[in-house]
Amino acid sequence: MILDVDEMLEVLRREFDAEEGSFLLRLRGMEWDRDAFTRLERAMRAACEHFQANGSLDRWVAEGFYAVATWVPVWTSHPGFPRPRPDGYYEACIERIGDLADWFFRGFSNYVEGHVWAEL
Protein backbone atom coordinates (compact mmCIF):
# COMPACT_ATOMS: atom_id res chain seq x y z
CA MET A 1 0.00 0.00 0.00
CA ILE A 2 1.91 2.99 -1.22
CA LEU A 3 -0.17 6.08 -1.77
CA ASP A 4 1.37 9.50 -1.94
CA VAL A 5 -0.41 12.32 -0.14
CA ASP A 6 -2.15 13.63 -3.25
CA GLU A 7 -3.41 10.15 -4.23
CA MET A 8 -4.59 9.47 -0.69
CA LEU A 9 -6.48 12.77 -0.49
CA GLU A 10 -8.04 12.24 -3.92
CA VAL A 11 -9.28 8.75 -3.00
CA LEU A 12 -10.64 10.01 0.33
CA ARG A 13 -12.43 12.94 -1.32
CA ARG A 14 -14.08 10.66 -3.92
CA GLU A 15 -15.02 8.14 -1.25
CA PHE A 16 -16.27 10.64 1.36
CA ASP A 17 -18.30 12.46 -1.32
CA ALA A 18 -19.82 9.10 -2.32
CA GLU A 19 -18.92 9.62 -5.97
CA GLU A 20 -19.65 7.07 -8.69
CA GLY A 21 -17.91 3.77 -7.96
CA SER A 22 -17.16 4.64 -4.34
CA PHE A 23 -17.66 2.20 -1.49
CA LEU A 24 -20.10 4.52 0.28
CA LEU A 25 -22.28 5.04 -2.81
CA ARG A 26 -22.45 1.31 -3.46
CA LEU A 27 -23.21 0.70 0.22
CA ARG A 28 -26.18 3.08 0.01
CA GLY A 29 -27.43 0.88 -2.82
CA MET A 30 -27.21 -2.14 -0.47
CA GLU A 31 -24.05 -3.53 -2.12
CA TRP A 32 -20.76 -4.27 -0.33
CA ASP A 33 -18.06 -3.82 -2.97
CA ARG A 34 -14.89 -5.54 -1.73
CA ASP A 35 -12.56 -3.72 -4.12
CA ALA A 36 -14.05 -0.35 -3.24
CA PHE A 37 -13.77 -1.16 0.48
CA THR A 38 -10.09 -2.07 0.02
CA ARG A 39 -9.46 1.21 -1.80
CA LEU A 40 -11.16 3.19 1.00
CA GLU A 41 -9.44 1.23 3.79
CA ARG A 42 -5.98 1.70 2.24
CA ALA A 43 -6.54 5.43 1.81
CA MET A 44 -7.76 5.74 5.41
CA ARG A 45 -4.71 3.82 6.62
CA ALA A 46 -2.40 6.04 4.55
CA ALA A 47 -4.11 9.10 6.04
CA CYS A 48 -3.54 7.81 9.57
CA GLU A 49 0.14 7.23 8.83
CA HIS A 50 0.50 10.65 7.22
CA PHE A 51 -1.33 12.65 9.86
CA GLN A 52 0.38 10.82 12.72
CA ALA A 53 3.73 11.86 11.26
CA ASN A 54 2.75 15.37 10.14
CA GLY A 55 -0.02 16.42 12.50
CA SER A 56 -1.93 18.64 10.11
CA LEU A 57 -5.27 17.90 8.47
CA ASP A 58 -8.21 19.50 6.75
CA ARG A 59 -11.58 19.41 8.45
CA TRP A 60 -13.22 17.49 5.58
CA VAL A 61 -10.87 14.55 6.24
CA ALA A 62 -11.92 14.39 9.90
CA GLU A 63 -15.58 14.68 8.94
CA GLY A 64 -15.17 11.82 6.46
CA PHE A 65 -13.46 9.56 8.99
CA TYR A 66 -16.23 10.28 11.48
CA ALA A 67 -18.95 9.59 8.92
CA VAL A 68 -17.44 6.26 7.84
CA ALA A 69 -16.83 5.14 11.43
CA THR A 70 -20.35 5.95 12.58
CA TRP A 71 -22.51 5.38 9.48
CA VAL A 72 -21.13 2.17 7.95
CA PRO A 73 -21.58 -0.07 11.03
CA VAL A 74 -25.11 1.23 11.65
CA TRP A 75 -26.23 1.03 7.99
CA THR A 76 -24.90 -2.49 7.51
CA SER A 77 -26.29 -3.79 10.81
CA HIS A 78 -29.82 -3.61 9.40
CA PRO A 79 -31.18 -7.18 9.10
CA GLY A 80 -32.08 -6.57 5.44
CA PHE A 81 -28.58 -5.52 4.43
CA PRO A 82 -26.92 -8.24 2.32
CA ARG A 83 -23.65 -8.64 4.23
CA PRO A 84 -20.62 -9.93 2.39
CA ARG A 85 -19.50 -13.48 3.10
CA PRO A 86 -17.88 -14.98 4.97
CA ASP A 87 -19.06 -13.40 8.23
CA GLY A 88 -15.45 -13.12 9.43
CA TYR A 89 -14.62 -10.80 6.51
CA TYR A 90 -17.49 -8.43 7.31
CA GLU A 91 -16.67 -8.41 11.03
CA ALA A 92 -12.97 -7.74 10.29
CA CYS A 93 -13.93 -4.82 8.03
CA ILE A 94 -16.12 -3.21 10.68
CA GLU A 95 -13.37 -3.69 13.26
CA ARG A 96 -10.82 -2.18 10.84
CA ILE A 97 -12.97 0.92 10.33
CA GLY A 98 -13.11 1.39 14.10
CA ASP A 99 -9.37 0.83 14.50
CA LEU A 100 -8.57 3.37 11.78
CA ALA A 101 -10.95 5.97 13.19
CA ASP A 102 -9.43 5.46 16.64
CA TRP A 103 -5.91 5.85 15.21
CA PHE A 104 -6.87 8.91 13.19
CA PHE A 105 -8.54 10.77 16.06
CA ARG A 106 -6.01 9.87 18.74
CA GLY A 107 -3.02 10.53 16.50
CA PHE A 108 -1.39 7.18 17.28
CA SER A 109 -2.22 3.53 16.73
CA ASN A 110 -3.14 1.17 19.54
CA TYR A 111 -1.04 -1.47 17.79
CA VAL A 112 2.65 -1.90 18.58
CA GLU A 113 5.28 -0.39 16.32
CA GLY A 114 5.79 -2.61 13.29
CA HIS A 115 2.24 -4.00 13.31
CA VAL A 116 1.37 -5.48 9.91
CA TRP A 117 -2.17 -4.78 8.77
CA ALA A 118 -3.71 -7.88 7.24
CA GLU A 119 -5.29 -7.45 3.84
CA LEU A 120 -9.06 -7.76 3.99
Q: Name, in order, each residue with C-beta under 8 angstroms of 47's C-beta and a sequence gap of 6 or more.
A: 8, 9, 12, 57, 61, 65, 104
Does 1 have pLDDT greater than 60? no
2 — pLDDT class (breaks 50, 70, 90)? low
Query: At CA 88, angle to CA 87 and CA 92, rounded to 5?
Result: 120
Predicted pLDDT of residue 58: 82
Digit-coded pLDDT (tens) for 35-45 = 999 999 999 99
Over its C-alpha atoms, the chain yields an Rg (Å, rounded) of 14
Digit-coded pLDDT (tens) for 68-95 = 999 999 999 988 999 888 889 999 999 9
What is the C-alpha to C-alpha distance for residues 112 and 120, in angstroms, rounded to an integer? Answer: 20
15 — pLDDT class (breaks 50, 70, 90)? very high
Domain residues of the chain, as ranges? 5-106
